């Protein structure tokens, strides 16, 4: 198996049989197979299930192993907090990513924009969008424009929404 195969199986196990089975599968993996991919899949499972304590403990372990240095690990935690209705916890993760020189990806930017929207800070949403278009244009895709349009619709700014699309 390739690392991604183990991670995919872990994710599917979590979805089909629950987190306990996924943890059992992960525990049974060889040390060789316990890597950034499989740890990341387990972190994703914890995040989906809103298991904050387990997600944070696993992230800490990943960080100690120097395998939490990707946007994916941070995106999982940011998604967890959005699922929990705590959008105010997202911007500090972005700042930590920047502090560690971890590049933000499309998902990172979109979740940041969504968090600011939930916090009713349209100016911050627009600042993030400007950052994407000025500094990281490759991270700006149709999802970003669609999300921006949805924010504008939320605020009744229909002309801006149409322009974003």
- Give the integer Cα–Cα distance in Å for 165 and 147: 10
The pLDDT, as a whole number, for residue 133 is: 87
Cβ–Cβ < 8 Å for 147, 110: yes
Helical segments of 65-165, H only: 71-83, 90-99, 106-118, 122-135, 142-154, 158-164
Between 142 and 28, residue with greater pLDDT = 28
Q: In the chain, what percentage of residues exceed pLDDT 90?
A: 85
The mean per-residue pLDDT over the stretch 1-16 comes to 92
Question: If we measure between CA atoms, which residue out of 111, 112, 37, 101 comes closest to residue 69?
Answer: 101
Collapsed DSSP state (helix, strand, coil) of residue 85: coil
The pLDDT, as a whole number, for residue 134 is: 85
The pLDDT, as a whole number, for residue 138 is: 76
The mean per-residue pLDDT over the stretch 6-22 comes to 96
Cβ–Cβ < 8 Å for 29, 61: no
Rounded to a whole number, what is the largest CA-CA distance in the chain? 56
Between 140 and 148, residue with greater pLDDT = 148
Residue 33 confidence (pLDDT) above 90 = yes
pLDDT tens sequence across 61-96: 999 999 998 999 999 999 999 999 999 999 999 999
The pLDDT, as a whole number, for residue 75 is: 97
How distant is the alpha carbon of residue 146 from its chain centre? 18
The pLDDT, as a whole number, for residue 38 is: 96
Element holding 27 (H helix, E strand): helix 19-28
The pLDDT, as a whole number, for residue 137 is: 73
The pLDDT, as a whole number, for residue 72 is: 94
Token readout for 130 is: 């400007």
How many residues are present in the chain?
A: 165
Only one residue has tokens 């930017």, namely 109
pLDDT tens sequence across 99-144: 999 999 999 999 999 999 999 999 999 999 999 988 777 777 888 9
């Amino acid at each position: 198996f390739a690392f991604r195969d183990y991670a995919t199986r872990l994710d599917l196990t979590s979805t089909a049989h629950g987190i306990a089975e996924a943890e059992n599968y992960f525990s049974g993996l060889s040390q060789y197979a316990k890597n950034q991919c499989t740890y990341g899949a387990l972190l994703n499972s914890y995040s989906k299930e809103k298991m904050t304590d387990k997600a944070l403990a696993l992230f800490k372990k990943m960080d100690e192993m120097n395998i939490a240095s990707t946007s994916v690990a941070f995106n999982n935690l940011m998604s967890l907090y959005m699922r929990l209705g705590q959008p105010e916890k997202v911007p500090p993760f972005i700042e930590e990513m920047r502090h560690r020189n971890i590049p933000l990806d499309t998902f990172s930017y979109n979740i940041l924009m969504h968090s600011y929207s939930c916090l009713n800070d349209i100016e911050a949403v627009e600042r993030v969008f400007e950052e994407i278009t000025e500094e990281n244009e490759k991270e700006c895709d149709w999802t970003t424009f669609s999300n921006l349009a949805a924010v504008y619709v939320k605020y009744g700014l229909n002309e801006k929404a149409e322009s974003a699309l």
